Amino acid sequence: MEHLVEHMRTSYHSVHEPMCGICKKHCRSYESLREHLIGPLPKQECKSIFSIRGCRFCLTILDSPNARRVHQERCQLSGGQLASFANLGLRDSLTIDNGYARGRQVVALACKMVGGGSDGSLDLCARVCLVDENENIIFHTYVKPPIPVTNYRYETTGIRPEYLRDATPLRQVQKKIQDFLCNGEPMWKIRPRGGKARILVGHNLDHDLDRLQLEYPAGMMRDTAKYPPLMKTSKLSNSLKYLTQAYLGYDIQTGMQDPCEDCVAAMRLYTRMRSQNHTMEDYPLASDPQNRNNFASWRQSELERMSPEEMFAISKSDYYCWCLDS
């Protein structure tokens, strides 16, 4: 029991973790759960049941092979309708709300970089796109970098010099996007719960915002590169290309890469993670003051008398689960 208490103290198991639908094992990430079910050394009992009744995208266990077939067809998304993005013209539908919208608004952002500096290795934002929760493109433009471009990386970006000649200056794009995200609220007043500021979704957002010279509160960002359930078992980030193929069932970034396509993929990953049906709790985070002493050392004797189920009931998550946005 002493070892179990110590394990629960450091593992932060909670109702928000991915869990095997067969043996109820708790996993820190979906990659860990995937290895448990279909990895090189899976649990054989779980593997055999999963091969018959498991969805290979969301890793849910269904009631029957037929239910699995119907579910998996619905779970696998298509990227075919995104092909038209490559020839998309400039678009600007960014507006500031005068009143409070119903529920927190969510937008996804992605950029494409060209190269600057003597060797072309310095990332410069040259194209940016935002989509709303319904996958409508609300902003798309080419961006004129503040320093000369030395490598257009045409093979992956599809960007030519003439596209940037009369493009919108970076500072103007940065202000427009920042005003749209803050949605009329001062930066210092933005808070994770309530308010008008928009939730920002993306992949490796810190890099994109840095290249846009834009600041935004971390509590308002949902980054698919840093969300613990979507990370590797080594706690490193997965690529957006891998996450889209593994969890949504289609391929992106196969030729010239399009930021609008990346926006849609990130938004779909976010909405899928947000739709997880977890038990709602008043204080779901281990960092909440109400949970500070749940596994305090002075409670050791009391904790050792608890059953594993009782300990699990007071164990809280060490990350913000996106289901809490719903």
CATH number at residue 200: 3.30.420.10
In 3D space, the residue among 46, 28, 49 whose CA is nearest the CA of residue 37 turns out to be 46
pLDDT digits (tens, 9 = 90+) for 140-166: 999 999 999 999 999 999 999 999 999
Q: Are 208 and 266 in contact (CB under 8 A)?
A: no
CA distance 176 to 160: 24
Residues 137 and 249 reside in one and the same domain: yes
CA 169 to chain centre: 29
Sign of the alpha-carbon dihedral angle for 112, 91, 194, 182: positive
Residues 124 and 199 reside in one and the same domain: yes
Domain region containing 8: 1-79+278-325
pLDDT digits (tens, 9 = 90+) for 236-250: 999 999 999 999 999
Q: What is the pLDDT of residue 90?
A: 75
pLDDT digits (tens, 9 = 90+) for 285-320: 999 999 999 999 999 999 999 999 999 999 999 999
pLDDT of 83 strictly over 50: no
Residues 302 and 262 reside in one and the same domain: no
Q: Provide the β-strand partners of residue 116.
A: 122, 149
Q: Are 203 and 238 in contact (CB under 8 A)?
A: no
In this structure, what DSSP letter does residue 295 have?
T
Give the chain's end-to-end CA distance (angstroms, integer): 37
Residues 120 and 253 reside in one and the same domain: yes
pLDDT digits (tens, 9 = 90+) for 273-282: 999 989 989 9
Residues 157 and 132 reside in one and the same domain: yes
Q: Which has more pLDDT, 81 or 14? A: 14
